[in-house]
Structure 1
Amino acid sequence: MASGKFLTDEQWAVLSPLIPPPARRADGRGRPVEHDDRAVMDGILWVLRTGAPWADLPDRYPSYATCFRRFSRWVKEGTLERLLTALARDLELRGDIDLSECFIDGTFIVAKKGGKKLGKTKRGKGTKLMAIADAAGLPLAVYTDAASPHEVTLVEATVDETVTVGLPERLIGDRAYDSDSLDAKLAADGIELIAPHRRNRIKPATQDGRKLRRYQRRWKIERLFAWLNKFRRILTRWEYDHRRFTGFVHLACSMILLRRYL
């Protein structure tokens, strides 16, 4: 993109009111803001899209130090998560989010540095990225944790990250989510869990065959991960601070929702 702009005027008009101005010190001291938020956001999106190191940021953007500092501040203040929440809830009000049939899955993200929320697996050291998609495959929740815990233990934490006002009515997953205790916990929140039984299951079947037909549409959560993989900074975790990695995921999900928003 020769101009260096990732956001159209229409997209920035939606995002800009959701980004608060930097707080100024009471004594008026401190470094003045050198670049507007739009130019910085375009620089951050370049890193997110390409997966390149911050230091490789082209000259057409503000300095990589400026973009990194602004990104880190937005992560710390929760700005990127609020962007995602605001977009999702507006789409929900417009009827463009379908909570009647949602899908959950996790994927392994290899990590190249140390930090929290890392775990060792047969595939190496990494982070687990959990996601929930609505009936159209739009992101409703993302959650990161160490790669070593089993996915079934991360479901409740992932549901807690749902950015819409409503919760999924039905949550569809693969055999990894076959758990009677998880069924009961989600049912208490009004969520019906639908997952094929494990082959070695001993207890009586609890899934109705007709409901399991919904499992055929589980490809929608796989498509969401395919969309996220286009943002190459998510393919590998380079961030020592797991909050910055999660911030990149929030921003990627916001860009996906922004396409539907406009």
Structure 2
Amino acid sequence: MPTRSRTELSRLVDTGSRTDPTVELTDKQWSLIEDLFPWEPPAPQGGRPKAKPRACFNGIMWVLRTGARWKDLPEKYPPKSTCHDRLKEWSESGLFDQALERLLRALEESEILDLTETFADGTFASAKKGVNRLDRHAVAKELRL
């Protein structure tokens, strides 16, 4: 990871990923996770090549950064179904978590990010349907103990 001044970091935060959705992984960032996502060129006898993992990863990150729908994925990325399928595959296998962990660790090691204190926000998590009031009150009562 390149070392950046506090002023530059502040500018990057101000222009952030939500306001500048064109931000993609740098070559150095990709080199940190590239081994997790091997890619094989098409066989000599032909066939349709799989989309390159870096393009899919950038497409996934674009959707996550912008909060946009998959169908709004720009054409410069692989098709929405390909990116979504890769996210599902990589999430189920744990590869996506490993990649994010490596990238976050690199940011932390270069003192761009401090993860000593973090929070989870569950305000948008919906409740399971069919939970009766008694169960909800029992849970609330246990949490107060």
Q: Work out the CA distance in 2 between the residues paired with 1:95 and 1:5.
A: 19
Q: Unaligned 5+ residue runs, structure 2?
A: 1-19, 41-46, 129-138
Which one has the bigger strand percentage? Answer: 1
**Is 1:12–2:12 an aligned residue pair?**
no
Contact 2:38 2:53 in 1 (8 A): no
Inter-CA distance 88–56: structure 2 relative to 1 (3 Å threshold): closer
Q: Unaligned 5+ residue runs, structure 1?
A: 23-30, 112-117, 121-148, 154-175, 180-262
Partner of 1:65: 81
Inter-CA distance 76–33: structure 2 relative to 1 (3 Å threshold): farther
Offset at residue 61 of structure 1 (A): 1.2
Identity of aligned residues (%): 35
Q: How does 1:1-262 map to 2 (within 5 A)?
A: 4=22, 6-21=24-39, 32-87=48-103, 102-103=116-117, 105-111=119-125, 118-119=126-127
Aligned AA (2:121): T
Partner of 2:16: none
Q: Work out the CA distance in 1 between the residues paired with 2:23 and 2:114.
A: 32
1:104-126: CA deviation from partner (whole Å, max 9, x where unpaired): 64422425xxxxxx426xxxxxx
- Cα root mean square deviation, aligned: 3.8
1:19-67: CA deviation from partner (whole Å, max 9, x where unpaired): 3458xxxxxxxx8543211111111111011101101111111111111
What's the secondary structure of 1:103's corresponding residue?
coil
Offset at residue 91 of structure 1 (A): 7.6
Aligned AA (2:127): G
Which one has the bigger helix percentage? Answer: 2
- Residues paired across the two proteins, number: 108
Partner of 1:184: none
Q: Work out the CA distance in 2 between the residues paired with 1:48 and 1:104.
A: 19
Q: Work out the CA distance in 2 between the residues paired with 1:81 and 1:16.
A: 14
